[in-house]
């Protein structure tokens, strides 16, 4: 049993969860998928983020999702807003939003960086802004996946269920995880960012962490972990993959890695997931 599950179980004494194999009639499922590698002046280009978007779009299309994909210059903030607001979906549908590209942060929030003129604020989408757009979609099942630096900063403060530090040093995370999970459980969440009422968020890195991509896998490492999880992540063996199972697999994969930058600094990071009482089935394993 991994560390994160132990943390949650410590808060759940008295409740029994029973896993059983059932046949699921999936609702309509939609995926909005974005990847930016070729940025205008102001940000360095990335290498594998379009690969990320292509592979994730292919995965979800194969699993029965209706997919809308944009890459590079198509990925503007206004285009993303239009795509979200144009969705005409039933209330029981599932919407998945995926972004791979640059992330940035300031003292208040983190942002994903689109392909607008990166010298202007129009390129940046905060968690609060994204949540406000998603709120206009009538379905009640939404998942946001962000493979970008500082991605967990888009989760509203106090909504991160995993309890992992915002800047992990590569050491053992369980002691911190348990105490921080308990603290978050009893704290008052902030009004900014994406709450668990808005969506379940899977974020590549903490609010103070960079995320990385690599030629050895041809993807962002978080996305590569997700793609592997789509094949190997059915932890309870029921034949279906949930958001929690997908996160757990990618988190365990990232936790075993370290990243050496050109200045000789060794970096570590851990994915995060937002908290809440629900877990969505994403697709059948087959």
The domain limits of the chain are: 25-284
Q: Which of 10-19, 21-30, 73-82, 209-218 is the least confident region? A: 10-19
pLDDT at 180 (0 to 100): 52
What is the C-alpha to C-alpha distance for residues 161 and 158, in angstroms, rounded to an integer?
8
pLDDT at 253 (0 to 100): 96
Q: Cβ(49)–Cβ(101) under 8 Å?
A: yes
When mean pLDDT is compared over 147-156, 187-196, 258-267, the highest value belongs to 147-156
Rounded to an integer, what is the distance from CA 23 to the centroid of its chain?
Answer: 27
Beta bridge partners of 241: 283
Q: Cβ(157)–Cβ(190) under 8 Å?
A: yes
Q: What is the mean pLDDT of the chain?
A: 84
Share of the chain above pLDDT 70, in %: 79
More confident residue, 169 or 157: 157
CA angle, residues 220, 163, 155, in degrees to nearest 5 = 60
Q: Average the pLDDT over 216-239 and give the result.
A: 97
Could you read off the pLDDT of 18-73 as tens digits, one per residue?
445 557 789 999 999 999 999 998 889 999 999 999 999 999 999 999 999 999 99
Contacts by 172-179, CB closer than 8 A, 24 or more apart: 173/3, 173/255, 173/270, 174/3, 174/6, 174/7, 177/3, 177/4, 177/7, 178/6, 178/7, 178/10
Q: Cβ(276)–Cβ(196) under 8 Å?
A: yes
What is the C-alpha to C-alpha distance for residues 36 and 39, in angstroms, rounded to an integer?
7
3-class SS of residue 161 = coil
Q: How far apart are the first and last CA of the chain?
A: 24
More confident residue, 32 or 195: 32
Query: Which fold, 25-284?
Result: Rossmann fold (3.40.50)
Q: Cβ(43)–Cβ(79) under 8 Å?
A: no
Burial 151-189 (b: 16+ CB within 10 A, else e): bbbbbbbbbbbbbbbbebeeeebeebbbebbeebeeeeb
Q: Cβ(38)–Cβ(70) under 8 Å?
A: no
What is the C-alpha to C-alpha distance for residues 156 and 200, in angstroms, rounded to an integer?
11
Q: Average the pLDDT over 106-120 and give the result.
A: 84
Report the predicted TM-score, pTM, of the whole model to 2 decimal places. Answer: 0.85
- Cα distances from 123 to residues 30, 67, 102, 172, in angstroms, run 24, 23, 11, 37
pLDDT at 276 (0 to 100): 74
Q: Cβ(169)–Cβ(266) under 8 Å?
A: no
What is the C-alpha to C-alpha distance for residues 139 and 100, in angstroms, rounded to an integer?
23
């Amino acid at each position: 049993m991994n560390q994160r599950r132990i943390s949650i179980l410590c808060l759940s004494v008295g409740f029994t969860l029973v896993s059983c194999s059932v046949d699921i009639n999936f609702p309509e499922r939609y995926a909005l998928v974005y990847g930016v590698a070729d940025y205008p002046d102001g940000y360095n280009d990335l290498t594998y983020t379009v690969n990320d978007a292509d592979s994730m779009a292919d995965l979800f299309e194969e699993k029965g999702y209706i997919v809308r994909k944009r890459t590079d210059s198509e990925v503007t903030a206004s285009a993303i807003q239009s795509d979200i607001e144009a969705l005409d979906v039933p209330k029981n549908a599932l919407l998945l939003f995926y972004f791979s590209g640059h992330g940035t942060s300031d003292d208040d929030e983190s942002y994903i960086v689109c392909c607008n003129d990166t010298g202007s604020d129009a390129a940046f989408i905060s968690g609060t802004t994204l949540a406000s757009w998603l709120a206009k979609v009538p379905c009640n099942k939404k998942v946001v996946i962000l493979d970008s630096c500082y991605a967990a900063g888009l989760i509203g403060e106090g909504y991160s269920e995993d309890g992992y530090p915002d800047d992990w040093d590569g050491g053992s995370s369980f002691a911190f995880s348990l105490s921080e999970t308990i603290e978050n459980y009893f704290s008052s969440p902030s009004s900014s960012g994406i709450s668990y009422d808005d969506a379940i968020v899977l974020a590549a890195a903490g609010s103070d962490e960079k995320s990385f991509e690599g030629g050895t896998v041809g993807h962002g490492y978080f996305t590569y972990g997700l793609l592997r999880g789509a094949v190997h992540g059915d932890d309870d063996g029921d034949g279906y993959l949930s958001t929690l199972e997908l996160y757990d697999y990618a988190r365990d994969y990232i936790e075993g890695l370290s990243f050496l930058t050109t200045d000789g600094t060794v970096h570590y990071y851990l994915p995060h997931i937002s908290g809440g009482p629900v877990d969505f089935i994403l697709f059948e394993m087959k």
